[in-house]
Amino acid sequence: MSITELKKKLKEKIENLNEDYLLEELLNIIDLELTKNDLVQIPKEHKEKLNISLVQAKEGNTISHESVMKECKNDLKS
């Protein structure tokens, strides 16, 4: 099926839809496809914090996943 035929068929089906959730999902899919190549701009403040974190990691100033999970579980019990 050609692109023109696909577009026509899609338009016909969309015209017959009455479910707003489905129309919103279709719109989200299209928006996602149109923006998939956009670059994410990281704010300067975030870059600075990320660089600090990378230095800390290189210096061994890290916390294991196990320790973090244990602390979270203890916090949830409180």
| pLDDT value for 40 | 78
Classify residue 46 as left (phi > 0), alpha (psi -120 to 50) or beta: alpha
Rounded CA-CA distance 41/56 in Å is 23
Based on the structure, what is the number of domains in the chain?
2
Domain housing 55: 44-77
- Percent share of the chain, pLDDT over 90: 81
Whether residues 30 and 7 fall in one domain: yes
Place 41 in a pLDDT band, splitting at 50, 70 and 90: confident
pLDDT digits (tens, 9 = 90+) for 2-20: 999 999 999 999 999 999 9
Sign of the C-alpha dihedral computed for residues 24, 25, 28 and 34 taken in this order: negative
Say which DSSP state 63 is in: -
Q: What is the pLDDT of residues 44-77, one digit of tens each?
A: 999 999 999 999 999 999 999 999 999 999 999 8
DSSP conformation class of 42: P
